Structure 1
Amino acid sequence: MTERKDIVAWTIREFRANRGRVGGPFAGAPTLLLRSRGARSGLERTTPMMYLADGPRYPVFASKAGADRNPDRYHNLLARPAATIEVGDEHIPVTATELHGPERDRHFAEQARRFPGFAGYQRKTRRVIPVVALTPATAEVSRPHSGRAVDSPGPQGLQS
């Protein structure tokens, strides 16, 4: 397993064992698990991601640490917008929609203000880092336990 896959696997286990709270590179950051399907393979993938709370929506950022290409999960969400997120103990079916223009800019600017690493990622690349809103598909939410991830700034690290 690569170091990145090891970190992702550890973060997913930590997230689920601690009702959405994790240490390591996501310590103190609002984190969710995105469960989406591959655009071509159809295989389910689970990815920890930082998010920015926006009412019922969960904007996420396709930063790929400032790489010149968008992450695969971005392309997967555009091709297959139905997904599920885990936030704390909640399992929420969502629909992904890419944000554009002033709405995209406002969300990205707020994320970069809270977590300056995102501004650094944007400086590293010529592409505009996409922002994707994950909107609950239904009002029905599975809540096996009470509790919700804390939406507070934390240190920089592995950011999606």
Structure 2
Amino acid sequence: MTFDTPAGTRGSRQPAGRLLVWFNSLMARRIRKRGAFGGFNALVLTTVGRKTGQPRTTPVGWFPGPDGTWLIVASAAGAPGNPAWYYNLGAHPDQVRIELDGKTFDVTADQLHGTEREQAWREIVAKAPRFAEYQEKTDRELPVIRLKSRP
């Protein structure tokens, strides 16, 4: 499927800058050790930058998907714009790696749409109501991404 969610016109302020880089680095180290962050199951997502071609690492919360897949939400805490990693996934969906429970997996990313997204979204907000709050802050539909192991 396509990565086609446009930016919205309203939402909360999206974190950025050196502080965010430092914080993400710290959280990635903690996730590698503990596998969780802020009450969520968490993983370390590594994408290829769509402009730079360089690896980009981001900690994200995940939810179990069907058939051993992982679901992540490009929420950016309810900001009007999608996070940078969303665009990196769209540019290179087959060049993605995750670190989880001390293991590294090569995965392929695809965005869920329609009824598949709606079902996943209901399960996500039931487990983590904070995502419903993020959705209320913005007028863009928060993308749900499925990560599937590559052979």
Pairwise TM-score range, normalised by the shorter structure: 0.7 to 0.9
Q: Tell me the alpha carbon deviations over residues 102-155 of structure 1, each in whole angstroms, 9 at most, x when there is no partner.
A: 1111112211111111000100111100011010011xxxxxxxxxxxxxxxxx
1:112 equivalent among 119, 125, 128: 125
Q: Which residue of 2 aligns with 1:81?
A: 93
Q: Which has the higher strand share?
A: 2
Corresponding residue for residue 32 of structure 1? 43
Partner of 1:10: 26
The one of 121, 124, 133 equivalent to 2:137 is: 124
Q: Within 2, Cα distance between the matches of 1:14 and 1:41?
A: 27
Consecutive unaligned residues of structure 1, counting only runs of 5 or more, are 139-160
Do 2:75 and 2:134's aligned partners in 1 also have CA atoms closer than 8 Å? Answer: yes
CA distance in 2, matches of 1:52, 1:104: 13
1:70 aligns with 2:82: yes
Whether the 8 Å CA contact 1:62–1:71 is kept in 2: the answer is: yes
User: How far has the Cα of 1:69 moved from its partner?
Assistant: 1.0
Report the Cα distance in structure 2 between the residues aligned to 1:80 and 1:86, rounded to whole angstroms: 18
Which amino acid in structure 2 is aligned with residue 136 of structure 1? S
Distance across 2 between alignment mates of 1:72 and 1:108 = 21
User: Residues 54-108 of structure 1: CA distance to partner in whole angstroms, max 9, x if unpaired?
Assistant: 1321111000111111111111101100201011111000000110001111112
Contact conserved, 1:77 with 1:96, CA < 8 A, in 2?
Answer: yes
Partner Cα separation in structure 1 for residue 109 and residue 101 of structure 2: 19
Gapped regions of structure 2 (runs ≥ 5): 1-16
Distance 1:69 1:8 in 2: 18
How much identity, in percent, do the aligned residues show? 35
One-letter identity of the residue aligned with 1:31: A
Structure 1's consecutive aligned runs of 4 or more residues displaced over 4 angstroms after TM superposition are: none
Establish whether residue 91 from structure 1 lines up as the match of residue 104 from structure 2. yes
Q: Is the 8 A contact 2:78 2:134 kept in 1?
A: yes
Residues 4 and 78 (structure 1 numbering): CA distance in 2 closer, same or farther, change over 3 Å? same
Taking structure 2 as the reference length, what is the TM-score of the superposition?
0.83
